[in-house]
Amino acid sequence: MKMKFEFWGETFEANMIIGALGGFIIAVASSLGGFGGGPFVVPLMTVIMGLPIYVVVGSSLLAIFFNTLMASSRYYFFGQTDVLLFIIMAIGAVAAGFIGPRIAKRLSPIWVKRIAAIGCTYLALKLLNVPFIP
Amino acid sequence: MISKMWKWFFWVVLPLFLVIGAYSWVFTQEAKKEASQGAPKSPEATVVKPSVSEGSEATKVELKLDKEVYKGGETIKISGKVPTGMKVNFIEITSVDSKVQVSRLDRKDFKFYLSKEIPAFYHIVINEDYVAKIDKNGTIEEKPVKEVYNKWKANKKWKIGEFMKETNADVAFITPPKLISEIKVWKTSISKAIIGSRGEPLPSLTDKKEIKKEAARLIQTRMKDLPKIFSLGKIKTNEDGTFEYSFKLPDNAPPRSYTVIAVVNKEVKSEPIKLTVDVSFPKIYFPVAGTSTNFLGPLILSLAICTFGVLMGAGGGFILNPLLIMIYHLPHGVVAGSVMPTVLFSQATGIYNYSKIGFINWKLGITIGIFMALGGFFGPLLNQFVTLDEYKFVFGIVLLGLAALMFWQTTPGYIEKSKKEKAILEEFKKRAAAAKKAKEEQKS
């Protein structure tokens, strides 16, 4: 099933079966874990669906917003949202949105990503209970 | 300008309202069904006093505390007197005002249990010299509790029911069945889970014996580790029957009333005695998570991790959630439910900014968005069904995937490609801004 759409005068065709299935799986994992799915949805739409990045940046954000809003309301109705913890986390997150871009200008994005990759691997090994990890 | 607002309304706000409306309708329908099926509550049943050996002075246990109000991390000095020849074998400490919601999926018969009245803090101290007596088909077997305790402590899949039977600690498991008036039960099935439901509602547990059994399991689900619920301690009982014990409250102890009960055996125990735990600023109590901690800790953690998240181009949740679980031992459901909504603001402002310059394809975004909303409908349900270890496993795999993605983004091939794409993106953004300006000038 292909979907045709227009973006700034250009016509694109996207395989919606891959898009829907991939989006669904990412959304289940991200709402189960409680993180945003951005880093996975963008590669899904660019690498797997073959869309150029300028089409994807805004539209992927919209798609993820659906997931976040639905999952948040679900958690809230299940009685699993600690409003106090949410407020504290939100203050930190919003402040980070102002601080982050200012620091970003002075750092090499490639090195940040390398450090992040190492950090994520370490955390993953810890979560997976791999022996001999301090 | 007005047409843009309408577009917003029609494509984002309206569908979301419809989705949420439909969901809350399903939810209320389910709640109605539960209400009609659930047995009537009997609040009187919850305040039954422990039957202390019909007034005979000889078997009375006296109990005293050194203070009335404590703070988290302080030591409670428990003392008292038991009839001569007896020994205090167990001391039960429960928070009676601070309660949390705990749910559990029984994998054997696929029943889902949920109670909102689980004490946020629960502990039984077992006298380390106590020798447990287990009735095995008429023959009584004796076993030192130390042996039993160490056996189950080493076992990651320990069972609270069996542990309490083997140590006789079930005689001290007194307060939770009194606090809990009902435990809801669902029969889960895959077909029900697919439509996003917990399952077929069954009559709630209201029988005290059943509540006792399930309450213990829910407490285990919440506290996880055996040493957090049970500890071996030297409860000194002197020859004249006086005894004393010092219990250290954990730093994260929830506030308000607690009860303490000293237990000799099934028949001989003290009246519950009250104490209050005071939580004062900057320490605050998180009512759903059921922990009190200094609010600066999570705030600084969130700020630091989210800043790093912005730098690496992924939300903070990826790193924040596992850290909240590892550092503060919060339940994984509460972590996911509280961290997830924090990104709503940044996402909404992002969408607004992109839509202003016409940089969102609504057709593409909404089509994928609907399937993502569907995924967001199941995820939180699955979160309730998985154990902490399974949650950690899924999260670990996701993080490995993220690490691989990050690494891929630092390879020379990707950098080359992304440079070109970024240039195109900037070009398009300029064009979009210029077009918007031209349109506005035309209007005015």
pLDDT digits (tens, 9 = 90+) for B314-369: 777 888 898 898 888 888 989 999 988 888 888 888 888 888 887 888 888 888 88
For chain B, the helix, strand and coil percentages under 3-state DSSP, each to the nearest 5 = 50, 25, 25
Is the Cβ of B279 closer than 8 Å to some Cβ of chain A?
no
CB pair distance less than 8 Å for B24 and A77: yes
From the candidates A59, A125, A128, which should be mutated to test the interface with B, based on the most B CB atoms within 10 A? A59
Cβ–Cβ below 8 Å for A78 and B384: yes
Other beta carbons within 10 angstroms of residue B194's beta carbon come to 9
pLDDT at B33: 55
Tens-place pLDDT, residues B111-124 = 889 888 889 889 99
Residue ranges per structural domain of chain A: 1-81, 83-134
How close, in Å, is residue A130 to chain B by CA atoms?
A: 10
Q: How far apart are CA B201 and CA B184, in angstroms?
A: 8
Residue B263: exposure state from Cβ atoms within 10 A (0-12, 13-18, ≥19): buried
Among chain A residues, the shortest Cα distance to B380 is held by A32
Nearest to B337 by CA among A121, A26, A70: A70
Nearest to A86 among B341, B371, B372 (CB): B341
Report the pLDDT value the prediction gives residue B42, as an integer from 0 to 100: 40
Q: B373 and A7 in contact by Cβ < 8 A?
A: no
Query: Which distant-in-sequence residues (6+ apart) come within 8 Å of B314 by Cβ?
Result: A36, A38, A39, A116, B402, B406
Q: Which residues of B touch A64 (CB under 8 A)?
A: 347, 369, 372
Summarize pLDDT for A44-76 with one digit per residue, the tens.
Answer: 888 888 888 888 888 888 899 999 999 999 899
- Measured over the CA atoms of residue B182, residue B187, residue B191 and residue B193, the dihedral's sign is positive
pLDDT reported for residue B85: 78
Residue B20 has pLDDT above 60, yes or no: no
Give yes or no for B300 touching A (CB within 8 A).
yes
Structure tokens at B337: 């439910």
Q: Is the pLDDT of residue B4 over 60?
A: no
| Rounded to 5°, angle at Cα B379 from B377 and B382 | 120
Which of B104, B295, B338 is the best mutation test for A, with the most CBs of A within 10 A?
B338
- Predicted pLDDT at B44: 40
Q: How confident is the model at residue B45 (pLDDT cuts 50, 70, 90)?
A: very low
Q: What angle do CA B113, B117, B118 make, to 5 degrees?
A: 75
Main-chain dihedrals φ then ψ at residue B412, nearest 5 degrees: -55, -40
Cβ-defined contact of B319 to A123 (cutoff 8 Å):
yes
Element (H, E) at B236: strand B236-237
What's the mean per-residue pLDDT of chain B?
Answer: 81
Query: Which amino acid, B171?
Result: V
Choice between B442 and B10, residue whose per-residue pLDDT is larger: B442
Confidence check: pLDDT of B228 > 50: yes
The ipTM estimated for the assembled molecules is 0.89
Please tell me which of the candidates A69, A93, A127 has its beta carbon nearest to residue B399: A127
B327 touches chain A (CB under 8 A): no
Summarize pLDDT for B173-225 with one digit per residue, the tens: 888 888 888 888 888 888 777 777 888 888 888 888 888 888 888 998 888 88
Average pLDDT over residues A17-29: 90
Residue of B nearest to A90 (CA): B342
